[in-house]
Amino acid sequence: MNNNSEAIAKTVKLLRNCKSVLFITGAGLSADSGLPTYRGIGGLYNDKLTEDGISVEKALAGETLCRQPAVTWKYLSQIERNCRNAKFNRGHEVIAEMEKHLDRVWVLTQNIDGFHRAAGSHNIIDIHGDIHKLACRRCGWQGVVKDYSGIEIPPKCSNCTGIVRPEVVFFGEMLPEDKLNVLDSELARGFDIYFSIGTSSVFPYIKQPMVAANHLGRPTVEINLEDTEVSDLVDIKLRMRAADALDAIWKEY
């Protein structure tokens, strides 16, 4: 039995005794759908400047969106176009299926692709937003689009002609207070087991739940091909692709 097989067996044994689960997911989960991990939203730019002579982080900053919305939307639409044909994968499906079978399952995701919801999960804290949800900050209009193929860039609100923005957290912007409140409330209740999947856990609000679980003596599992900020503190480390690992766990459950 290899290390991953042993880790899967241990995870399944723990999971059978659990009624509540927190899944913390990042780009590594959606990578199994063909989406690039960060810099590619990223592989589009690598370490190069954009054609406008600024970094992709600067192009996708809240300040740039306010001052030069056409620039932000230009690169946002490039990213969306490169990801347009992807869909949720088996990993997302397994998490959604667990929500149906266990008493309480929540997902804290950094991903803005909406795949968790599309796969059938309901208890989602998409802390960075969803690229398909649009809003006008001037008049409050809100809408949902399948993709950006039929909208002008930058899009204008049909109600007030203000510039519409996606409901995502751009660089330099604050996290949404309502979602942080839900996260705090659910973390205060605690979970029987905590999973970190496909994320480097560099953001404090992504790392902290795993640290807290470790201090509380709650089981922790990481699924990631690489070492991360939480690798040294988790109980079980699965060096596998996220979708493969979740599918293997669910098949043995």
Active site residues per annotation:
128
Give CA 5 to chain center in angstroms: 26
Which pairs count as long-range contacts for 113-120, CB under 8 Å and 24+ apart, including other chains? 113/30, 113/33, 113/35, 113/83, 113/86, 115/29, 115/30, 115/33, 115/87, 115/88, 115/89, 116/25, 116/88, 116/92, 118/87, 118/88, 118/92, 119/88, 119/92, 119/93, 119/95, 120/93, 120/96
- The edge-to-edge listing of strands for the beta sheet with 20-25 is 124-126, 104-109, 20-25, 193-197, 220-223, 236-238
Contacts of 72 (CB under 8 A, 6+ apart): 59, 60, 61, 64, 65, 154, 170
The Cα 180–Cα 206 span in angstroms is 11
Which residue, among 7, 18, 29, has the nearest Cα to 108 in the 3D structure? 29
Give CA 140 to chain center in angstroms: 25
The Cα 245–Cα 133 span in angstroms is 30
Which residue, among 78, 95, 85, has the nearest Cα to 44 in the 3D structure? 78
